[in-house]
Amino acid sequence: MPDLHRQLIEGRADVPRVGSVIELESIPRYTVLDADGAAVAPVLPYIRGLILDDNRPLTAKSYAYDLLRWYRLLWFLGIPWERATEAEASALVGWLRVAPNPQRRRQNPNAPQPGSVNPRTGKPYLKAGYAPSTINHCLTVVSSFYAYHRHYGRGPLVNPVPESRAQRRALAHRAPDSAVPQFRRARLRQRVRRTDPRSIPDSMWDEFFGAMTCDRDRAAVLL
């Protein structure tokens, strides 16, 4: 494994936050810019395809940010997008597992710290890093990006993001009303912890119900 890849995985290096996502006035609505402010050409047709497939603009925005993370990694490693391999996908996962998420930074010093617990609701705030579901979503977007270009004869012949053949076989001929079969996660996919359904403590429910001044609202909430 190259040294830069190893440094990212071990948390001894960080990827520069270069480039950006901008909103456009026409399709594809969003695109990725490099450090010089130029549009990243391979991203444009892919995001345009998302919009033409009737995905929401916010979906295109989310996918653009995932591709920006991927391109930042490739720029840092000095690897063209069409030559990316599983080694770069592994470096992406290793980097995201240890890197701080800029969206978790608090400007207010009195704001709750990432990973702390809300004293009223008893629920934890998001941790300082990237969640496993965020890493998996990024892998899904990168895999879809390369599958799109491979369909049109561009990019590498082998997708840099490994897939689960067991999952593909299990879901290939499954009846819609049948139980979802068990299968192993693909390589690099993170384990996502199952969480309890969203709820509020009884004390907050009593406070919320007591603040209502209309019987109609109370009946609607009880229903």
Q: Which residues of 32-46 are buried (b: 16+ CB within 10 A; e: fewer)?
A: bbbeeeeebebbbeb
User: What's the pLDDT score for residue 143?
Assistant: 96
For residue range 96-128, list pLDDT tens digits in order.
Answer: 999 988 877 766 777 777 777 776 766 777 778
Angle (CA) 146 148 82, round 5°: 35
Residue 34 reports pLDDT greater than 80: yes
From residue 124, alpha-carbon distances to 22, 26, 99, 115, 147 in Å are 32, 39, 20, 6, 37
User: What's the pLDDT score for residue 185?
Assistant: 82
* Residue type at 147 in one-letter notation: A
DSSP assignment, residue 104? G
Give the whole-number percent of the chain exceeding pLDDT 90. Answer: 54
Q: Give the start-to-end residue ranges of the domains of the chain.
A: 3-104+126-165
Of residues 136 and 215, the one with the higher pLDDT is 136
Q: How far apart are CA 50 and CA 27, in angstroms?
A: 10
Q: Which residues of 152-188 are buried (b: 16+ CB within 10 A; e: fewer)?
A: eeebeeebbbbeeeebeeeeeeeeeeeeeeeeeebeb
124 Rama sector, left if φ>0, alpha if ψ -120 to 50, beta otherwise: beta
Angle (CA) 152 155 160, round 5°: 120
Are the C-beta atoms of residues 212 and 221 closer than 8 Å to each other? yes
Q: What is the mean pLDDT of residues 156-167?
A: 83
Are the C-beta atoms of residues 60 and 47 closer than 8 Å to each other? yes
Are the C-beta atoms of residues 132 and 191 closer than 8 Å to each other? yes
